[in-house]
């Protein structure tokens, strides 16, 4: 019997064509075949096998096998055996003209104990270009330590349609091969919609205002030409102290500002107009001739005269001007001489301001 099974395998496999395309093999299937059982309890027996199955896809399936072996137990008589196996199938290949597969399930024979046992098997299945398939397999029945060999011809219901091939991306650039104009792009390279490498153009650095700092880092992009700039492209500024002095002398017992001092008063006025944030305190002084209270009043009048000249004649806002008199209390020279007394009859002021001066290239 074994030789006949092997001959059938060779003849049928030789007649099956090679499938060029991947076929959809899902659906219901029936089969007819022959099986030879090698029992421990019975002698060898051969039987026809009928199968009913369903394939979920090209990999997984389930089926029910049924047969009635004609058996003989140690020469004591013949037995009719009902054999049933319910099992799952796993195909190792999902395309091509053949595939190995493995099976596992439960089976039972009603003549001995009627108990189910585990049945495992391996096989090889071949397909033709229609819905037919042929398979050969061997199984092991764990309960009674039996084995079997089976050949079967199967027929799957439904159209045998080619399965759509899954799109592939051979160079793994994110563009499928059927759309890839550059199918051998090195891994990790950025590509365009056609799958070709994006060639990055070198960046051209620009310096629009010509200050030596590129635009991408320039915080002051409109710097005036010739300006001395810092690392951020902004013009450097130097803080400095600016000031102007006022010194006016008066005749004895007089608070009249002589025209000889107009240039000094005008200089102070111009300074205050240039630096609008400045203010001035004008200090009036006298010599020690006369009463102290009279000299105090005279010093205040002298300071007020200069303040009035700044405001009325030279246009400085009066709110920025303060006048104060110190009388004879702050001499700068000795009152014992005529020269010293002349120096002490005075009005003075110092105005200063801290300003930022823009720096320029030399």
Asked if 252 and 342 sit in the same domain, the reply is yes
Among 103, 122, 156, the domain boundary falls at 156
Closest Cα to residue 268, out of 285, 250, 257, 282?
282
Average pLDDT, the chain: 83
Among 156, 189, 207, the domain boundary falls at 156
Using an 8 Å Cβ cutoff, are 276 and 218 in contact? no
What are 288-304's pLDDT values in tens digits?
999 999 999 999 999 99
Among 156, 184, 209, the domain boundary falls at 156
Which pLDDT band, with edges at 50, 70 and 90, does 89 fall under? very high
Q: Domain tally for the chain?
A: 2
Asked if 7 and 148 sit in the same domain, the reply is yes
Alpha-carbon 251 to chain mean position: 84
Q: Given this model, what pLDDT does residue 9 score?
A: 52
Q: Given this model, what pLDDT does residue 74 score?
A: 53
User: What does the longest C-alpha to C-alpha distance in the chain come to?
Assistant: 167
Q: Per the domain annotation, does 29 fall within a domain?
A: yes
DSSP secondary structure letters along 201-239: PPPPP--TT-SSS-GGG-S-TTPPTTB-B-TTSPBPEEE
pTM recorded for the entire structure: 0.43
What are 152-202's pLDDT values in tens digits?
999 999 776 665 667 788 888 888 888 888 888 888 888 888 888 887 777
* b/e 286-297 (16+ beta carbons within 10 angstroms → b): bbbeeeeeebbb
77: alpha, beta or left, given left = phi > 0 and alpha = psi -120 to 50? left
Q: Per the domain annotation, does 229 fall within a domain?
A: no
Q: Per the domain annotation, does 42 fall within a domain?
A: yes
The whole domain housing 336 covers: 238-358
């Amino acid at each position: 019997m074994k030789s006949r099974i092997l001959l059938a395998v060779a003849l049928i496999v030789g007649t099956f064509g090679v499938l060029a395309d991947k076929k959809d093999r899902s659906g219901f299937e029936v089969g007819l075949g022959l099986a030879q059982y090698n029992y421990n309890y019975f002698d060898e027996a051969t039987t026809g096998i009928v199968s009913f199955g369903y394939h979920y896809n090209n990999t997984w399936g389930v089926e029910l096998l049924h047969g009635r072996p004609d058996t003989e137990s140690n020469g004591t008589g013949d037995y009719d055996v009902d054999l049933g196996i319910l099992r799952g199938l796993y195909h190792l290949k999902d395309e091509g003209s053949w595939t190995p597969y493995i099976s596992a399930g439960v089976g039972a024979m009603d003549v001995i104990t009627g108990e189910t046992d585990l049945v495992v098997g391996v096989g090889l299945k071949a397909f033709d270009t229609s819905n037919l398939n042929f398979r050969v397999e061997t199984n092991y029945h764990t309960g009674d330590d039996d084995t079997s060999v089976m050949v079967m011809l199967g027929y799957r219901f439904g159209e045998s349609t080619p399965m759509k091939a899954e799109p592939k991306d051979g160079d793994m650039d994110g563009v499928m091969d059927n759309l890839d104009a550059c199918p051998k792009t090195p891994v990790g390279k950025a590509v365009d919609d056609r799958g070709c490498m994006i060639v990055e153009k070198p960046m051209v650095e620009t310096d629009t205002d010509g200050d030596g700092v590129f635009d991408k880092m320039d915080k002051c992009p409109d710097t005036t030409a010739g300006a001395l700039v810092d690392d951020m492209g902004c013009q450097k500024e130097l803080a400095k102290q600016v000031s102007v002095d006022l010194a006016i002398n008066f005749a004895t017992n007089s608070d009249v500002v002589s025209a000889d001092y107009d240039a000094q008063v005008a200089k102070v006025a111009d300074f205050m107009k240039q630096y609008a944030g400045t203010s001035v305190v004008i200090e009036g002084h006298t010599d020690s001739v006369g009463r102290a209270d009279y000299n105090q009043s005279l010093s205040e009048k002298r300071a007020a005269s200069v303040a009035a000249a700044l405001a009325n004649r030279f246009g400085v806002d009066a709110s920025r001007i303060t006048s104060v008199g110190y009388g004879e209390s702050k001499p700068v020279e000795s009152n014992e001489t005529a020269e010293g007394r002349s120096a002490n009859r005075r009005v003075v002021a110092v105005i200063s301001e801290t300003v930022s001066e823009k720096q320029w290239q030399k």
